[in-house]
């Protein structure tokens, strides 16, 4: 009597389709990136984001950047680039490689949703350095084909689009360190090498000046 068994078979199939499988289940305790940020996720407690970036994602005012309020896609790309060594950095590369794709996405969303905050710079730059940096930031070096920073990062340093992050709220030390990495091609996660082309002609003094100016722009305030 196969026709009598059919309803039971259909019911079992329907229940199986409705019930979440193991791969579909998401533990509510780890559904947000906060757990990764505060515990380090699969990378371990010693790799918890807040230990370097601060409880509010503000950075340390030196070479650890502010990540609160950055674009979600930008943060995720940097984590992926750390993991694939497009942006080599021993601590961050080790952490990123041990995070699942889902955890990278969760923690990127967590910090993107966080109100932007900035740590106070460790050292206040001199006024003459700010003035030198202002010209570089807004005018570039036309005779050396160095584009103005404001072209991509905005006149106010708030960034233009998800791929061009804000510079305001970052420390002079962090910005200078990144420019030196771009210049030496130790950081090479820009598909069009825009940052490499911009940084290669710059001297150490010019890097220090433009970094000081960019960091001096009004910092973002929590909403």
Q: Per-domain residue ranges for the chain?
A: 28-112, 127-216
pLDDT above 90 for 13: no
pLDDT above 50 for 16: no
pLDDT above 70 for 165: yes
Residue 178's nearest CA partner among 156, 144, 208 is: 208
pLDDT above 70 for 135: yes
pLDDT tier at 14, thresholds 50, 70, 90: very low
Domains 28-112 and 127-216 are alike in CATH topology: yes
Q: What is the mean pLDDT of residues 125-132?
A: 82
Pick 197 or 17 by higher pLDDT: 197
Superfamily of domain 28-112: Cytochrome c-like domain (1.10.760.10)
Query: Looking at domain 127-216, does it have CATH number 3.40.50.11060?
Result: no
Residue 125's nearest CA partner among 213, 217, 218 is: 213
Each residue's pLDDT tens digit, 22-69: 445 455 555 678 888 888 777 667 778 999 999 999 999 899 999 999
pLDDT above 70 for 91: yes
Within 8 A by CB and 6+ apart from 185, the residues are 196
Helix/strand/coil for 146: strand
**pLDDT value of position 11:** 39
**pLDDT value of position 18:** 41
pLDDT tier at 129, thresholds 50, 70, 90: confident
pLDDT above 80 for 190: yes
Torsion 38-40-46-50 (CA) sign:
negative
Residue linked to tokens 């889902």: 102
pLDDT tier at 127, thresholds 50, 70, 90: confident
């Amino acid at each position: 009597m196969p026709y009598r068994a059919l309803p039971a078979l259909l019911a079992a199939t329907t229940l199986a389709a409705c019930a979440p499988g193991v791969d579909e289940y998401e533990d509510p305790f780890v559904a947000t990136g906060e757990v990764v940020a505060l515990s380090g996720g699969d990378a371990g407690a010693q790799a918890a984001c807040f230990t370097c970036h601060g409880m509010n994602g503000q950075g340390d005012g030196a070479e650890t950047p502010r990540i609160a309020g950055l674009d979600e896609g930008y943060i995720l790309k940097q984590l992926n680039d750390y993991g694939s060594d497009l942006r080599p950095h021993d601590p961050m590369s080790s952490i990123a490689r041990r995070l699942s794709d889902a955890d990278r996405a969760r923690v990127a969303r967590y910090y993107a949703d966080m109100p932007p905050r900035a740590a106070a710079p460790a050292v206040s730059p001199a006024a003459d350095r700010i003035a030198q940096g202002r010209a570089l930031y807004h005018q570039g070096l036309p005779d050396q084909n160095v584009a103005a920073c404001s072209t991509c990062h905005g006149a106010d340093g708030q960034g233009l689009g998800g791929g061009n992050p804000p510079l305001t709220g970052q420390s002079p030390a962090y910005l200078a360190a990144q420019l030196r990495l771009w210049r030496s091609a130790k950081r090479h996660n820009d598909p069009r090498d825009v940052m490499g082309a911009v940084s290669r002609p710059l001297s150490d003094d010019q890097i220090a000046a433009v970094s000081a100016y960019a960091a001096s722009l009004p910092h973002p305030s929590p909403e």
